[in-house]
A = this chain, B = another copy of it.
Amino acid sequence: MDYVYGPGKNHLFVPGPVNIPEPVIRAMNRNNEDYRSPAIPAMTKTLLEDVKKIFKTTTGTPFLFPTTGTGAWESALTNTLSPGDRIVSFLIGQFSLLWIDQQQRLKFNVDVVESEWGQGANLDILAEKLAADHAHTIKAICIVHNETATGVTNNLATVRKLLDHYRHPALLLVDGVSSICALDFRMDEWGVDVALTGSQKALSLPTGIGIVCASPKALEASKSAKSVRVFFDWNDYLKFYKLGTYWPYTPSIQLLYGLRAALDLIFEEGLNNVIARHSRLGTATRLAVEAWGLKNCTRKEEWHSDTVTAVLVPPYIDSTEIVKRAWKRYNLSLGLGLNKVAGKVFRIGHLGNLNELQLLGCLAGVEMILKDARYPVKLGSGVAAASAYLQNNIPMIPSRI
């Protein structure tokens, strides 16, 4: 194996997997346990209850699949839809593209609404399609809340308004992988039917839990959905929920304890404070990018993402080299540009258990890398812009007042 030790901490600023807080690392530092003893079901019960809070739902039913976000996608689709069903799906970047690819391979009839990368989902077209769909042939709207490849946040409230306006019964399926627990997400208020996230994103855990939350309407739909599914079938879980043993197959003991610790930290900070912290970090990052004279991949302010910023580099720079150099010289992990924006953007992930000084260290590093790459950045300029904002906005740490 290549040996890659560098002194000091790795500065982890990819948009997932993200930094795990020490209390969560500690909680997972343990031997296996019998998951059929009374202890694990008792803990699982609290997890299922508490995980609903991060979706802002009281009526949803959560499932903790031993899988990744990709698996969570599959679970959302196969439990609610049947092969051939028409779904409207928005292509705005690499992750929405991958989800659409999955939708197609799962044999749905995907009505793709494409935008340029850097733009949000085109909701005008959605409006048109809904308006035209008197027969209700559209069975579901699939939308990524936050496109991680371009740093674009879609407006889910508007999607709901359109569905309501046209009294359209389509299910609303939302990929919240890089949003839930970091951005403002309101499952019940927005009438989201299936929302999902992965443990390694804003929850700040290792990869391994795909969290899917289903509305009563989605559960109802699952009864008639014809898509073939076993591992990802909600029904197996529901049976074990009734039995009170909760697990149709073996969960990761470590991740359950880790999730318990992660939720405890989030509730202690306060979910809305967590969201406000992400807003601060996102704003600070964008101010730095502006100060550097660089462009955000995201075209309009309304789509700015508070969890990831994709930074466009000038044509004479290869963003892949920026990312390589960050790792090789500064022990800084940045996100690559993917697919259409490969070489054109690098990404700063600012989600999860992260604070302002960590971000400022990252921004200072980016400045040096830009200079390494002969971009005429003024060193300190981005940090200055970000800290001018932050110094006015960081709250005292409540537990330390």
Q: Which residues of B contact A213 (CB under 8 A)?
A: none
Contact check, B367 vs A397: say whether CB atoms are below 8 A apart: no
A330 at interface, CB cutoff 8 A = yes
Contact check, A255 vs B371: say whether CB atoms are below 8 A apart: no
Query: Which of A102-110, A136-144, A163-171 makes up part of the contact surface?
Result: A102-110
A216 at interface, CB cutoff 8 A = no
Contact check, B252 vs A207: say whether CB atoms are below 8 A apart: yes
Q: Which residues of B contact A23 (CB under 8 A)?
A: 5
Q: Which residues of B contact A359 (CB under 8 A)?
A: 361
Contact check, B105 vs A230: say whether CB atoms are below 8 A apart: yes
Chain A 157-198 interface mask (CB, 8 Å, partner B; 1/0): 000000000000000000000000000000000000000001
Segment 233-282 of A: residues with Cβ below 8 Å from B: 233, 248-255, 260, 265, 268-269, 274, 277
Q: What is the minimal beta-carbon distance from A160 to any residue of chain B, in angstroms?
A: 28
Contact check, A7 vs B230: say whether CB atoms are below 8 A apart: no
Contact check, A2 vs B364: say whether CB atoms are below 8 A apart: no
Contact check, A397 vs B328: say whether CB atoms are below 8 A apart: yes
Q: Which residues of B contact A106 (CB under 8 A)?
A: 228, 230
A388 at interface, CB cutoff 8 A = yes
Closest to A359 in B: B361
Query: Which of A64-72, A126-134, A303-311 makes up part of the contact surface?
Result: A64-72
Contact check, B31 vs A12: say whether CB atoms are below 8 A apart: yes
A381 at interface, CB cutoff 8 A = yes
How far, in angstroms, from A372 to B360 measured CA to CA in the complex? 17
In the complex, which of the residues B29, B30, B380, B401 contacts A381, with contact meaning CB atoms closer than 8 Å? B380
Contact check, B12 vs A34: say whether CB atoms are below 8 A apart: yes
Contact check, A399 vs B6: say whether CB atoms are below 8 A apart: yes
A151 at interface, CB cutoff 8 A = no
Segment 23-45 of A: residues with Cβ below 8 Å from B: 23, 25-39, 42-43
How far, in angstroms, from A330 to B394 measured CA to CA in the complex? 8
Given A7-B269, A7-B355, A9-B355, 16 more pairs with CB closer than 8 A = A2-B38, A4-B37, A5-B268, A7-B265, A8-B354, A28-B254, A66-B71, A66-B208, A70-B231, A102-B231, A105-B228, A105-B230, A328-B400, A364-B364, A364-B383, A367-B387
Enumerate the 5 nearest inter-chain pairs by beta-carbon distance, A residue then B residue, closest first. A380-B384, A8-B355, A361-B361, A17-B32, A360-B364
